[in-house]
Amino acid sequence: YTARFLLCLAIMSLVAYEDSDSETEAEKTEAPNSSGRQTNQPSSSVSCVQHFAPGSTKSAYEMHPAGSTGRSRVWEDPPERYAQNNNTDLAPPYCPRVYSGHAALSVAYKNYEQASSSSRNSGNGFSQKRTHEDSTTTLKGIRPYIPKRLRQENSSKPEKEESDQRGSSDCDVKFSISAEQTLRKISELIKPYLGSKYKVTEVPKSLIFSMSKHSGPVNEIQWCPVREQSHMLLSASMDKTVKVWDAVDTGCCLKTYSCHSCAVRAARWSSCGRRILSGGFDSMLHLTDVETGKQIFSSKTEFRISALKFHPTESNVFICGGFSPEVKAWDLRTSKVLRVYKAAVQQTLDILFLPEGREFLTSTDAVSRDSADRTIVAWDFQSAAKISNQIFHERYTCPSLTLHPKESVFVAQTNGNYMALFSAQRPYRINKKKRYEGHKVEGFAVGCEFSPDGTLLVTGSSDGKVFFYNYHTSRIIRTLSAHKEACVSAIFHPVLPSLLATCDWAGEIKIWQ
């Protein structure tokens, strides 16, 4: 390879440098003649060919017979004159052949000039390895080749600078070594259940994982809605972070997203499982890409956010509520507010879409001394009209709402230390024959949830216990001493039977089987 390259350099030096001092002589020698340069010129000439990557066994120049093609010709201009004019488009006669996707000719000429001067100065040929140098001059429409190592370095620098300029616009993402592989895997424990229907739910008894990476209370947890990726658990905490866990196989924290400057009150998976919508007490809304941590959507609201819910059929629409008399529907495609729902309240505690998403409910803090109207308000999603505000008449607020997976009913958690059952159809009558009581709420935003088969109703308790109720009889089946602090959420896995996740006010998350 070295010998062949030296031979090329020697021949090219004869072609390019001989009698190149005079511009007029170069013009005269444009056409070869028998008495001038043609006598010393070999029977081959240099044509513009592709510039190979460093480490390639081929040279950046190849020798072609002069008569082999009509497009091959001799470069008569010296490299010095070419370098002065390299800011113009490289049209013939400099490069009669175009190779897309490779380096500019200025790089080749620069390397060639350095190699020639080195061989002339040393007298013993080219003795150094060629080094890759970036070029600022390229052919129009042609991208220069850059080695993989340099591409990685260059791509990392702009991202770092851009993130510095954005400040808090992108999440500060921390993830474990195996997070990228674990994030998109299908758990071996979940695979056998993907093709079958959910079986009967049993009360969990054994502790599988205890995860305590959060440094503040955990406000909300949710399993990934994509069945194949449902090994991932989402958690929102008062420590200003949102975390994704492998809560089925390892119990490890996969990623941490630090998008918010204050406590994160609500976080929800998108229906595709690739994005996370979060809102907090910094009045910020963030839609974050799970893998990269990039902000797909960000907006600042006029109030602190306490409740978020995606529309059940329109994946790009969500509803946001908080410390405000207004509830807003957003469209992620336009990053604008679709509708505003106004009520004479001070705070929205929870949001629940009814089947098909045409109507939704909001639970509020509107409780007066004599009545509890507006505690649960029903809305028409399309018209933003208030359907009913006379659903619940007892003087208790309802920190959470949940819908039955099969029947047209929903349950409201109340600060009266019981759960009330309502019809999910107008006029949303309360079932006075069933009341799920025995646990304690005591001012905490304790959540409640149905099992996937609808047979059990599970809720946390302010004393750290988890209560399991029979949905049909409203009797307590079993209690589980899960946490030392208030247990604010307990949810069943959507695929694996009897797998339960719980979280508490101390920042601990536990998985039960």
pLDDT at 390: 86
Residue 113 lies inside a defined structural domain of this protein = yes
The residue-averaged pLDDT of 293-311 equals: 93
The residue-averaged pLDDT of 120-133 equals: 42
Residue 117 lies inside a defined structural domain of this protein = yes
pLDDT at 302: 92
**pLDDT band (50, 70, 90) for residue 167:** very low
User: Are the C-beta atoms of 404 and 454 separated by less than 8 Å?
Assistant: yes
356: left (phi over 0), alpha (psi -120 to 50) or beta: left
Average pLDDT of the chain? 76
Residue 290 CB-half CA count within 13 A: 25
Q: In Å, what is the CA distance from 98 to each residue of 36, 105, 138, 492?
A: 30, 10, 12, 62
* Tokens of residue 95, six digits: 């490069």
Sequence-distant (≥ 6) Cβ neighbours of residue 506 within 8 angstroms: 217, 483, 484, 485
Residue 265 lies inside a defined structural domain of this protein = no
At 427-459, the pLDDT tens digits run 999 999 999 999 999 889 999 999 999 999 999
Range of the structural domain that residue 106 is part of: 2-150
**pLDDT band (50, 70, 90) for residue 110:** very low
Residue 412 lies inside a defined structural domain of this protein = no
* Tokens of residue 282, six digits: 């910094």
pTM value > 0.85: no
Residue 305 lies inside a defined structural domain of this protein = no
Residue 475 lies inside a defined structural domain of this protein = no
Residue 422 lies inside a defined structural domain of this protein = no
Number of domains in the chain: 1
Residue 77 lies inside a defined structural domain of this protein = yes
pLDDT at 389: 86
